[in-house]
Structure formats: C-alpha cells, structure tokens
Amino acid sequence: MKIIHISDTHLGYTAYNALDKDLGIKQREVDTHKAFEQAIDKIIEIDPDIVLHCGDLFDNVRPSNRTLTFALEQLLRLKSANIPVVIIAGNHSMPRTRDVGSIFRIFELFPNLYPIFKGKHETLAFKNPRSGQMDLMVHAIPHCLTKDDFEENLKKLKPDPEVKYNILMLHSAAKGIKEFSMGEFNEQVIETSYLKPEFNYIAMGHYHKYTQLSENTYYSGSTERFSFNDIGQEKGFLEIDLKTNDITFHPLKIREMIEIPSIDAFGKDAEFLMEKIEEAIGKNEIDEKIVRLTINGLSNSTYNTLNFKQIKKLTSPALHFDIKYIRDSEENSVQISTDSIGNLSAEFEKYLAKSVVEELDKKTILKMGKEYLQKAMSKNETN
C-alpha cells in the first residue's frame, strides 16, 4: 500500500504587502494556495491508496470564504480520484473555546474525507484495494484541549497486531529536541517514548522542516516557507510505500527566499553604508524573491541619515525585502524593519525615556516592550 504524508499547508496564510496583480489579493496567500494545488496535482499522479494530512490545513481557526472554497475544491479533486483523505486538526485549527465550533465539521459531510478534530484519539480502518482486506489502521490524535488530554490520548494508543499496517498521525513538537519546537504557546509536545516501533509509520505535523525523527517517524514539513527560519529548506510532501518501506520526498516548486550576507556598520557613516547596501543588492538576484539583509552595529546618527528613499528603490524588485537594522550597543539592540510600522520600537524607547516609572526597572520594561513589539511585528511569520 502507498500512502501520502502531507502537513502544515496553512491555507489562507497572508504576509507582506505585495498583491497578486490579477486577483488583487495578497501574493503570499496565492503562493500558499498554489503550493497546495501543486501538491494535489502530484498526488493524483502518484495515485496513492490514502492521503494523511497531519494538521494546520488552514492558517487560522476561521478561514475566509475564499480559502474554504479553495480547500474543498482541491480535496474534492482527490475524492474524484477515489483517494480517501484523513485530516487531523493542528494547533492553528483549534478554537480556544467550544462555542466557536470547528470548521472541520464541514468535511464530515463529504464521503472520502475523514476529519479528526474532536480532541481525542480516533482509529479508522481502510481496505487495501488489492487484497480487499482491512489492511490499514490509522490511529490519529488531533490537537487536544489540554496537555493532560494529549498525554491521556497518547497512553491509549494501541497498534492492532491483527492488522497488516498500523499508522499513527500526530500534530506535535518532540520533547527534548528543542529544534522541533515552533515556540508556540499552545503547542503540544510528545515524549519520544510514545513513538513506538510497533507502528509501521508515524506521520507527524507541526514542525515545518522535513525531518526524520526516528526509525519510523517523520515530519513531512510544510508546503511553503512561512518564516525566514525556512531559508534553504526544500518544501514538499512524503510518499511511503508500506510494502518496501521506501520513503520519497516530493519537493514543490515555490517562491525563492534568500538571505544576503550581512553588512557590518560599526563606526561607518551613511554614505559608506549606502554604497555597501547597493553593492550587496547588486550582487544578488532579488527579482520577485523574499529577501532578508541584516545590518549590524548601526549607530543612531548613521541610521538617521540613511537615504531610505534610495533603499526603497534598490529593494523594490523583490517581492518582499526585509532589512534588519541592529544598533551598535548590544544591550540596547533595537531591530527596526523597513515596514511602515517598523519604527514602533524606537518610538517606544523614546516614550519610555520620557516617562516616569516608579518601583520598576526601566531597562526591564524596555526589554520586554521591545520583545512584545517584535513579536507583534513578525506576526506575519506563521508557524
């Protein structure tokens, strides 16, 4: 039997200001949808016995009409090809309160779509089209309401020895391996001892980099790059042949994301820096790409005399160009983005300097405030 393991498609993701000229909507939303459509095209070509989607189908709890229609359109293409799809809810799909209800309920209305979203472990048996036997048992745990719930559900996992292939689906970070966390406040974490060898395959979602976690456990990774952490990573999905244990990663063709080598600004003036910036951009092909450049050790006076109009012109061929300006005193490092709200951090620093604060340490407030602002400003980077 052949299965497809896909995850973290984040349909409806938006970021940056660039618009798709024809559709008039955010280009990154279009990109994210195109990546999913490309994956569905390839999956139909591969013609697997089942598709397992390991969570974060949508970027948020309430997908827009456009996103929902698109998702159904694509999933129904799999239905037309007679390929069943199991989808578990990830942390991006879980309403924080029960009254919101889950959009996953809509998938129950379609045969061949099997949504798992009720916060508890479920099992589904599937027929092997060749043998006609119930050869495949899918054990799935969606995102749970609490960590204890998740733990309880993990304890209930029991591979069925009577069934030829037992597969486990999870949406979770992995404990003890810091790298496998997305650093999200509501993420669930699994002890690696639950990754039992009795399962023929364990399909994981949540961590966005394609990774083998143990002998039988894989993260397929996301289908697009949703943050600068993803620079240099290929994105795609996995094909697993349960008979031969062959695992194939199918990469997708997506928009390029690059990092330009950083520029050192210690003790340099604006004129020198402008030359360096122009040179750095000239050396790299940035057309239609997502680009980041860091400038280190910038003094206030140099920052204030930079020719921002010229920088804007130089960076405009990119779809999105992020310049990270890092001030020269490490303690007071301020990160300012070129976006219009980018100066919030500096504004906050000025405001705090003028304010009278009793019984609290200004330095701590400044540090915390900057962190919050940074978080809010990078909110368009999805996990």
- By the criterion CB under 5 A, which residues form the site for Mn ion? 8, 56
Cβ within 8 Å of residue 375, ≥6 positions away:
none
- 56 vs 224 by CB, closer to Mn ion: 56
Least distance from Mn ion to the Cβ atom of residue 252, Å: 16
User: Judging by beta carbons within 10 Å of its beta carbon (0-12, 13-18, 19+), is residue 112 exposed, middle or buried?
Assistant: middle
Residue 61's φ and ψ, nearest 5 degrees, are: -65, -35
- 231 vs 260 by CB, closer to Mn ion: 231
Count of residues in the chain: 383
- CA dist 328 → 193, 232, 267, 350 (Å): 46, 28, 9, 17
- 120 vs 209 by CB, closer to Mn ion: 209
Q: Are 153 and 120 in contact (CB under 8 A)?
A: yes
- 8 vs 122 by CB, closer to Mn ion: 8
Closest CA to 40 of 11, 76, 64: 76
Least distance from Mn ion to the Cβ atom of residue 206, Å: 6
Least distance from Mn ion to the Cβ atom of residue 205, Å: 7
Closest CA to 56 of 248, 184, 177: 184
Cα Rg for the chain, rounded, in angstroms?
24
Least distance from Mn ion to the Cβ atom of residue 317, Å: 30
- Which position's Cβ is nearest Mn ion? 56
Least distance from Mn ion to the Cβ atom of residue 307, Å: 39
- 8 vs 322 by CB, closer to Mn ion: 8
Least distance from Mn ion to the Cβ atom of residue 92, Å: 6
- 8 vs 239 by CB, closer to Mn ion: 8
